[in-house]
């Protein structure tokens, strides 16, 4: 049996307590099975939207991709990459980004 828990902290003063607040939730989820608990932390995007990118086909030159997208849209892009995963910061929408990604590499999701 699976389940989902979440925590939305709007009061920035409470961010330091994140571990203390999340631990009981994750503990209860882990009792559902050895691979049933996980954690994702999101913060406000200060440079537009953030997109999680993945390419199963192998390593990608993420920096070149970010430059290409930046030039295509005329907006600055930032990228944090590790292997086949990357986090793209770009002021755009998913609808505008998807065709540009597909044109660069159909394996990038």
Active site residues: 2
Report how far residue 9's alpha carbon sits from residue 14's, in angstroms, rounded to the nearest whole number.
7
Q: Residue 74: left if φ>0, alpha if ψ -120 to 50, beta else—which one?
A: left
Q: Are 66 and 78 in contact (CB under 8 A)?
A: yes
């Amino acid at each position: 049996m699976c389940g989902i828990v979440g925590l939305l902290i709007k009061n920035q003063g409470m961010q330091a307590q994140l571990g203390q607040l999340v631990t009981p939730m994750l503990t209860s989820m882990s009792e559902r099975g050895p691979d049933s608990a996980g954690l994702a932390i999101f913060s406000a995007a200060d440079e537009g939207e953030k997109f999680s990118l993945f390419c199963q086909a192998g390593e990608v030159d993420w920096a070149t991709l970010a430059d290409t997208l930046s030039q295509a849209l005329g907006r600055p892009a930032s990228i944090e990459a590790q292997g086949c995963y990357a986090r793209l910061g770009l002021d755009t929408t998913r609808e505008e980004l998807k065709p540009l990604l597909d044109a660069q590499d159909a394996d990038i999701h």
